[in-house]
Amino acid sequence: MKNKNNLGESLNNAMRSLWNNKVVVMFVVLCVFGIATSGKSVSHTVTEVFTRFGRNAFLVLALIIPVLAGLGLNFGIVVGAIAAQIAIFWVVSWGFTGVTGLLMCVLICTPLAILFGWLVGKLYNKTKGSEMITGMILAYFADGLYQFLFLFLIGGVIPVNNPTLIINGGVGVKNTIDLTGNIKYALDTISMLSIIQVLYIILAVITAAKLISRLVKKRELHLKSLLLRFAAATVVFALTFVPAVQTFLGQDRLLLLNAVELACLGAALFAVYLLLKGMVGEKKPFAQCYKRPVALAIVAGIVYALTYVTAIFQILIAVSLPVCTYLLIAVICFFNRWILSTKLGQDMRTVGQSRTVANSAGINVDKTRIIATCISTVLASWGQLIYLQNLGTFQTYGAHSMVGQYAIASLLVGGASVQKANNKQAILGVVLFHTLFVVAPLSASNLFGSALIGEYFRVFICYGVIALSLAMHAWKVIAKKKEEKAQSDAAPAES
Amino acid sequence: MGEAPYVLKMDGISKEYFGNRVLDNVSLSVKPGEIHALMGENGAGKSTLMNILFGMPVIHNTGGFTGTIEIDGEPVKIDSPQKAMELGIGMVHQEFMLIPGFTVTENIKVGREITQPTVASHIFGKSLEKLDTKAMAKDARKALDTIGLNIEEYVLVKGLPVGYMQFIEIAREIDKKGVRLLIFDEPTAVLTESEAARLLDTMRVIASKGIAIIFITHRLDEVIEVTDSITVLRDGQFIAKAQTKDTSAVKIAEMMIGRKVEKLFDDDKPDTRTLSDDDVILSLRNLKVDMPGEKVRDVSLNVRRGEVFGIGGLAGQGKLGIPNGIMGLCPAEGEVIFDGKPLDLKKLGEALRLGIAFVSEDRRGVGLLLDDSIEQNIVFSAMQVNGKFLKNYGIAKLYDGKAGRAHANEMIRELDIRCTGPTQAAGSLSGGNQQKVCIARALTLSPKLLIVSEPTRGIDIGAKKLVIELLAKLNREQGMTVIMVSSELTELRSLCDRIAIVSEGVVHRIMRPDDSDAAFGLAMSGAKMEGGAEQ
């Protein structure tokens, strides 16, 4: 009897969580259908999706902070993309290449993006409550200014003498700029070894800075923990000089197989750490603290075992990940989480939930919103750099135009809404949206004999998802109001 | 030197809004640890006084105020809410200033989070310091324990019962450092009876810790129960300050209402009307109206044919919801029987069609087409509802200009509308004349029942008198049934045969115009102590 009840309840819960995630469920079904009918091997699709994930994830993650700060979906990230493109143009015309070129791009586009973000934030503060439509129109306006700059000012007013970039008449920038040989794959090809070297140098600098600041301010040194940490890092660094490790780390791409193996190893180590921490650190009996570590270890074991399944193995060895790009995506995920644990992040959440409460609590609402917009714009400009260096060709007048729509559609597909978004939804969304993007034309040409239908379908999905999500948001607001009314009606009746 | 006897002393406070004096030489003083009631009708100046104390921008955007404020004997200048908070003044709002998606701790600590420095905060400034959630939870627990609220500090506010929210607000205020004066603005309005009783207990606990409390409410019984002293305001004037133990609910009610009842019109003609309890023109049964800010919960009453029926009560208690619900302007439920026929509340315009005319309290918003001529304003309802002033040309009905003009001229003459002619834009008229145009339009419908809502709001005293006289004339000479909804007791009492006092969305009592001031005061306060003196 009791069991039956439990079963019914858990079934009920499962149904409810399915219903709550209906957008995600719908897209999972569409993706599975698309993959099944695409007529291509699964490993082809997976390879494509991983490439696109590396390209686009950063842009989507740039959208999360404005959502939390109550600005809704920031269509204004187009402005950040424009900042990145201006930077790329000048860096290419000055002839910088490789990592140097990329760093130059970052140096130029970051201050530009901060300036643009500040202006966009100012505008959003003047149009509170309708930031999304403002952002959309702003994107068109910014596009106009961008065209003015690239079609007329460059060459027309600012002399640029570079026949590969400038249209024959000497005024205006060509339609396409080839990035091969300058910044194409500049980020993707940074080897793991150099990442570790850079990190090691950064750690050394930080340790020194901490020591000096503590000495100057005459506070406690905590020398032991500081040196211990540095020593541990040195050991890791020394390991990289072992020839086998060195050749492995000398690569810039990591086979997905290796990545999965490494992740399993990491998870197992983490489980051991958790267990030790619980038993030795907090002195709890084994029975109390074994659940999480053991579960973790079991999952890791199962995943590792799965890599021996032939079909999965085939896929895993077909995909290779650009390490540095994926690392940056992970860093940005941590950044999004970290910022929420700070005072600034708490202010943003407060402002996002209620401007009146924030105001009466002495939080500078306008400033907080501007900071959120600035962060989003800067992240978007870096995201566009990553996107273009991976793509390798820069469509001068088209590269930025769909950035906002695609990124927002991805985020929404992952189950985010106008008011709620997190890293998980962003990542899931990118995977689903781009899977569909890859397979839709293939399965359409397979099923209907015309790839064009798939193309229509793709565009339809992108805008359809945005429209659907906005409509559902409005619907939810109405439902909430009704619920509140019912509650307030019920309240006096109880008394 | 001992401690200053008063934690707060406001002296000679005067404030004008656009030449309209809303506070005139008012003073207020509160001792530490005292619960002080601030009493007065709507428009008596309570909220303006508190806005001044709290440094609200609305005060400083409209030319500031005169008078002095002293905190602990020190003269201070409060020019922003932040300044008020720094001085230790806290406010518990009537509508909750809480964030549903936050935990109790986060709400208590909003804007005042405890932080620890991080690497990034050394470089980019304090706003990147990490939140110290443990210390925050500890502080929140302490504040909750102080007021005896037994909820976990880590739950979300979203799921809590409404009654708890007020207490979380209080916890937030007392968690602020150095708080010495708390303002409670109608805190019991949304609470159930037991919750309200707990709130009063909590107020006593807070006061016993030496924090002064200013308690704004219209519930007299609560004032008698919990406060030490009271200040009464009326029409922006300081009326009295008294110790609560030296006074009584009846006396306070008298002080709040007590004004010389000046008859607004001379009722010298003999009353020839015959009113009968059996001849009911409008009957309301369990009417519920969802009008924002004027919610009607459950109203049942009968209006006799030929009488002037008054509906009074404080703002926000639901009196305005009644006519707006009947006319279908706000979503309403319940049974309305007009002249023996049930009225469909869902259908907009149904009431008009059956012969109920309505003069809205929102004259410039709902009542008039401001840019159109007086003539258009007078005839448009009748054209729409009754098909008057239309010529039928077969394919289309067109406006009959001649008839409309003639009717407008007649109305202008009859109601004495001061204007340059029927083509003048209604928006350019004075308030009193605009009101007459509204009444003229209602009369053009030849209604069986006329409902006027706040007919004298925002018009000067001379015009007021004219409007009241006009209503009296319509009733006495033409036998028209009139329902008058008004916040001004004086005008209700000078014209109406019976007055229903609405409190908290229900009809509290039906009074006669010659009942005593104290009885009216008690009824408007919704005091639950009738049954004693009256009845």
Chain segment A14-31, per-residue pLDDT in tens? 888 877 777 788 888 888
Residue B83 lies in a domain: yes
Residue A285 lies in a domain: no
| Position B503 pLDDT exceeds 80 | yes
Q: Which of B101, B130, B290 sits opposite A485 (nearest CB)?
A: B290
Q: Mutation target for B interface from A206, A356, A360: give the one with most B CBs within 10 A.
A: A360
Does A206 touch chain B if contact means CB atoms closer than 8 Å?
Answer: yes
Range of the domain at A238: 191-251
Residue B30 lies in a domain: yes
Average pLDDT over residues B130-140: 89
| Position A95 pLDDT exceeds 80 | yes
Higher pLDDT: A115 or B235? It is A115
Whole-number pLDDT of residue B19: 67
The count of other CB atoms within 10 Å of the CB of residue A305 is 10
| Position A333 pLDDT exceeds 90 | yes
pLDDT digits (tens, 9 = 90+) for A248-265: 888 888 888 888 888 999
Residue B393 lies in a domain: no
B139/B152 same-domain check: yes
Cβ contacts (< 8 Å) between A363 and chain B: which residues?
110-111
Phi-psi region of B349 (alpha: psi -120 to 50; beta: other; left: phi over 0): left
Residue A488 lies in a domain: no
Structure tokens at B523: 């009824």
Residue A176 lies in a domain: yes
Residue A115 lies in a domain: yes
Average pLDDT over residues A328-346: 92
Does A214 touch chain B if contact means CB atoms closer than 8 Å?
Answer: no
Spell out which chain B residues touch chain A, with contact meaning CB-CB distance below 8 angstroms: 81-82, 85, 97-102, 106, 110-113, 115, 118-122, 126-131, 162, 190, 192-194, 290, 297, 505
Whole-number pLDDT of residue B81: 79
CB of A430 within 8 A of CB of A24?
no
B354/B288 same-domain check: yes
A372/A409 same-domain check: yes
Q: Which of B113, B193, B505 sits opposite A343 (nearest CB)?
A: B113
Q: Is B74 helix (H, G, I), strand (E, B) or coil?
A: strand
Q: Which of A341, A342, A350 sits opposite B99 (nearest CB)?
A: A350
Structure tokens at B209: 């810790």
Whole-number pLDDT of residue B2: 43
Cα distances (Å, whole numbers) of residue B422 to A246, B379, B399, B438: 96, 11, 16, 14
Report the CATH number at residue B350.
3.40.50.300
| Position A494 pLDDT exceeds 50 | no
CB contact under 8 A, A342 and B129: yes
B182/B170 same-domain check: no
Q: Can you name the residues that pair with B506 across neighbouring β-strands? A: B298, B503
Q: Which of A349, A356, A363 sits opposite B97 (nearest CB)?
A: A356
Strands (E), A213-291: 253-255
Tokens 């145009």 label which residue? B437
Residue A333 lies in a domain: yes
d(CA B332, CA B121): 56
B81/B134 same-domain check: no
Q: Where is the domain boundary, A226, A251, A276?
A: A251
Whole-number pLDDT of residue B391: 85
Q: Mutation target for B interface from A211, A331, A342: give the one with most B CBs within 10 A.
A: A342
Name the average pLDDT for chain B.
Answer: 83
- Give how far A340 is from chain B: nearest CA, Å: 9
Average pLDDT over residues A137-153: 94
Beta strands B237-243 and B229-234: pairing type? Answer: antiparallel
Average pLDDT over residues B485-506: 86
| Position B55 pLDDT exceeds 90 | no
- A226 confidence band (pLDDT: 50, 70, 90): confident
Whole-number pLDDT of residue A397: 92
B83/B125 same-domain check: no
d(CA B384, CA A402): 51
pLDDT digits (tens, 9 = 90+) for B168-192: 888 888 888 788 888 988 777 667 7
Strand order through the sheet with B66-71: B74-76, B66-71, B8-17, B20-30, B237-243, B229-234, B35-39, B212-216, B181-185, B89-92
Q: What percent of chain B has pLDDT over 90?
A: 10
Q: Mutation target for A interface from B87, B110, B158, B193: give the one with most A CBs within 10 A.
A: B110
Cα distances (Å, whole numbers) of residue B385 to A199, B187, B322, B356: 80, 45, 22, 11
B77/B103 same-domain check: no
Name the most confidently modeled range: A142-151, A289-298, B87-96, B206-215: A142-151
Average pLDDT over residues B469-497: 86
Q: Is A364 helix (H, G, I), strand (E, B) or coil?
A: coil
Range of the domain at B108: 97-175
d(CA A124, CA B515): 57
- Closest to A43 in 3D by CA, of A430, A310, A331: A310
Q: Give, for B357, the enclosing helix (H) or strand (E).
A: strand B356-359
A104/A232 same-domain check: no
* Amino acid making up residue A2: K
Whole-number pLDDT of residue B45: 80
- In chain B, which residue's Cα lies nearest the Cα of A68? B101
- Give how far B216 is from chain A: nearest CA, Å: 20
B495/B519 same-domain check: yes
CB contact under 8 A, B121 and A342: yes
d(CA A268, CA A274): 10
When computed from its CA atoms, the radius of gyration of chain B, rounded to whole angstroms, is 27
Q: Give, for B70, the enclosing helix (H) or strand (E).
A: strand B66-71
A112/A59 same-domain check: yes
pTM surpassing 0.95? Answer: no
CB of A64 within 8 A of CB of A337?
no
Q: Which of A344, A356, A357 sits opposite B128 (nearest CB)?
A: A344
Q: Where is the domain boundary, A214, A234, A251?
A: A251
Whole-number pLDDT of residue B73: 84
Cβ contacts (< 8 Å) between A360 and chain B: which residues?
81, 97
A407/A453 same-domain check: yes
A160/A195 same-domain check: no
pLDDT digits (tens, 9 = 90+) for A59-85: 999 999 999 999 989 999 999 999 999
Residue B229 lies in a domain: yes
Structure tokens at A15: 């149904």
Whole-number pLDDT of residue A279: 79
Cα distances (Å, whole numbers) of residue A475 to A390, A405, A431, A435, A480: 39, 22, 27, 29, 9
Does A486 touch chain B if contact means CB atoms closer than 8 Å?
Answer: no
Average pLDDT over residues A408-418: 87
| Position A1 pLDDT exceeds 50 | no
A52/A168 same-domain check: yes
Q: What percent of chain A has pLDDT over 90?
A: 34
d(CA A438, CA A420): 27
- Give how far A495 is from chain B: nearest CA, Å: 5
Does A220 touch chain B if contact means CB atoms closer than 8 Å?
Answer: no
B182/B300 same-domain check: no
A102/A195 same-domain check: no
Structure tokens at B229: 């002293």
- In chain A, which residue's Cα lies nearest the Cα of B193? A495
Whole-number pLDDT of residue A11: 82
CB of B327 within 8 A of CB of B356?
yes
Cβ contacts (< 8 Å) between A353 and chain B: which residues?
99-102
- Closest to B519 in 3D by CA, of B496, B491, B489: B489
Tokens 């990147």 label which residue? B128
Tokens 């003459």 label which residue? B413
Q: Which of B85, B102, B129 sits opposite A343 (nearest CB)?
A: B129
A234/A182 same-domain check: no
Residues ≥6 apart with Cβ < 8 Å to B509: B500, B501, B523, B530
When computed from its CA atoms, the radius of gyration of chain A, rounded to whole angstroms, is 26
Q: Where is the domain boundary, B125, B155, B175?
A: B175
Whole-number pLDDT of residue B42: 66
A155/A202 same-domain check: no
CB of A348 within 8 A of CB of A68?
yes
Name the average pLDDT for chain A.
Answer: 86
- Give how far A106 is from chain B: nearest CA, Å: 19
Q: Where is the domain boundary, B175, B204, B228?
A: B175
Does A100 touch chain B if contact means CB atoms closer than 8 Å?
Answer: no
Whole-number pLDDT of residue B265: 62
Q: Which of A346, A357, A488 sits opposite B131 (nearest CB)?
A: A346
CA angle B439–B443–B449, rounded 5-degree value: 100
Residue A290 lies in a domain: no
Does A346 touch chain B if contact means CB atoms closer than 8 Å?
Answer: yes
CB contact under 8 A, A358 and B111: yes
B363/B445 same-domain check: yes
| Position B3 pLDDT exceeds 60 | no
B337/B479 same-domain check: yes
Q: Which of B81, B99, B118 sits opposite A354 (nearest CB)?
A: B99
Does A211 touch chain B if contact means CB atoms closer than 8 Å?
Answer: no
Count of domains observed in chain A:
2
- In chain A, which residue's Cα lies nearest the Cα of B83? A362
Count of domains observed in chain B:
3
B168/B184 same-domain check: no
Contacts 24+ apart (CB under 8 A), A400-405: A400/A78, A400/A81, A400/A82, A400/A85, A400/A143, A400/A146, A401/A78, A401/A143, A403/A59, A403/A77, A403/A78, A403/A81, A404/A74, A404/A75, A404/A76, A404/A77, A404/A78, A404/A135, A404/A136, A404/A139, A405/A75, A405/A462, A405/A463, A405/A466
Residue A274 lies in a domain: no
- In chain A, which residue's Cα lies nearest the Cα of B162? A491
Does A343 touch chain B if contact means CB atoms closer than 8 Å?
Answer: yes
Residue B322 lies in a domain: yes
Four-CA torsion A80, A84, A85, A89, nearest 10 degrees: 150
Residue A158 lies in a domain: yes
A141/A159 same-domain check: yes
CB of A400 within 8 A of CB of A147?
no
Whole-number pLDDT of residue A378: 96
A217/A160 same-domain check: no
Structure tokens at B180: 């010495």
pLDDT digits (tens, 9 = 90+) for B114-124: 888 877 777 77
- B531 confidence band (pLDDT: 50, 70, 90): very low
pLDDT digits (tens, 9 = 90+) for A4-14: 567 777 788 88
| Total CB pairs under 8 A between chain A and B | 71
d(CA B520, CA B141): 45
Q: Where is the domain boundary, B257, B291, B321?
A: B257
Cβ contacts (< 8 Å) between A495 and chain B: which residues?
192-194
Residue B244 lies in a domain: yes
A384/A429 same-domain check: yes
Whole-number pLDDT of residue B533: 40
Q: Is A126 helix (H, G, I), strand (E, B) or coil?
A: helix
Tokens 């500090």 label which residue? B153
CB contact under 8 A, B112 and A361: yes
B449/B365 same-domain check: yes
